[in-house]
């Protein structure tokens, strides 16, 4: 097994609900062009790109006249598929990453295992119905959809915080820092698994 080079992924995904073009480069340098039609989601993806160091270009035209659900879900699916493509056979990566990140009074923990067992375990503990046009239920759904299509495990827990914008933003920053560690090249060519395969 050898490390994929360059570590990038490109996904075009069109359904009757959304039309998405997504390109990512794991080795950054965190350049980004993000237009999902949902300002708050753009803000969170901007944080994800900035703090993970992963360059993200994503453009989505979604059925926002219905609501935000299809757009949030499909952006997560496309991003996960691009991440999976960029990782290739996952040789040479650190595999695990974790972070605890504050944003003012809010504090979030994220832990990632890039082995290919998909699972998103998310507790954001939000009180508001929506933030910036994104339903709060769709924000936890974002992480679960990302983990499913990206084929990795992520645990995200907001440990404290009064302000829901702060809670979500600290969660995305924690996920970003955990991802930065997990995708980092370890200097070995093999996969970090006792099974010899991820």
Q: Using CB under 5 A as the criterion, which residues of the chain lie in contact with Mn ion when the complex forms?
A: 169
Q: Which residue is nearest to Mn ion (CB)?
A: 169
Neighbours of 165 (CB within 10 A): 17
Shortest Å, Cβ 73 to Mn ion: 22
Shortest Å, Cβ 45 to Mn ion: 12
DSSP the chain: ----SS-EEEEEEE-SSEEEEEEEETT----EEEE-S-HHHHHHHHHHHHHH--EEEEEEEE-TTT-SHHHHHHHHHHHHHHHHHHHTT-TTB--EEEEEEEETTEEEEEEEE-SS--EEEEE----SSEETTEEHHHHHHHHHHHHHHHT-EEEEEEEE-S-HHHHHHHHHHHHHHHHHHHHSB-S-SS-SSTTS--
Shortest Å, Cβ 15 to Mn ion: 30
Q: Is the peptide bond before 6 cis (omega within 30 degrees of 0)?
A: yes
In terms of CB distance, is 115 or 171 closer to Mn ion? 171
Shortest Å, Cβ 137 to Mn ion: 20
In terms of CB distance, is 50 or 181 closer to Mn ion? 50
In terms of CB distance, is 152 or 172 closer to Mn ion? 172
Neighbours of 118 (CB within 10 A): 17
Shortest Å, Cβ 43 to Mn ion: 6
Shortest Å, Cβ 47 to Mn ion: 8
Question: What is the chain's length?
Answer: 198
In terms of CB distance, is 153 or 170 closer to Mn ion? 170
């Amino acid at each position: 097994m050898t490390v994929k080079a360059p570590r990038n992924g490109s996904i075009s995904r069109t359904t009757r609900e959304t039309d998405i073009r997504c390109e990512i480069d794991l080795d950054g340098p965190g350049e980004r062009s993000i237009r999902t039609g949902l300002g708050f989601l753009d803000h969170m993806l901007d944080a994800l790109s900035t703090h993970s160091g992963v360059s993200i270009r994503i453009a989505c035209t979604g059925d926002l006249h219905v609501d935000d659900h299809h757009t949030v879900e499909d952006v997560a699916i496309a991003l996960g598929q691009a991440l999976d493509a960029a990782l290739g056979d996952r040789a040479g990566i650190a595999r695990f990453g974790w972070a605890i990140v504050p944003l003012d009074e809010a504090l979030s923990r994220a832990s990632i295992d890039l082995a290919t067992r998909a699972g998103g375990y998310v507790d954001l503990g939000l009180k508001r119905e929506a933030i910036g046009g994104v339903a709060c239920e769709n924000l936890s759904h974002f992480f679960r959809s990302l983990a499913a299509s990206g084929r990795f495990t992520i645990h995200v827990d907001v440990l404290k915080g009064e302000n829901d914008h702060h809670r979500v933003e600290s969660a995305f920053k924690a996920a970003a820092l955990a991802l930065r560690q997990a995708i980092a090249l370890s200097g070995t060519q093999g996969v970090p698994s006792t099974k010899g395969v991820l």
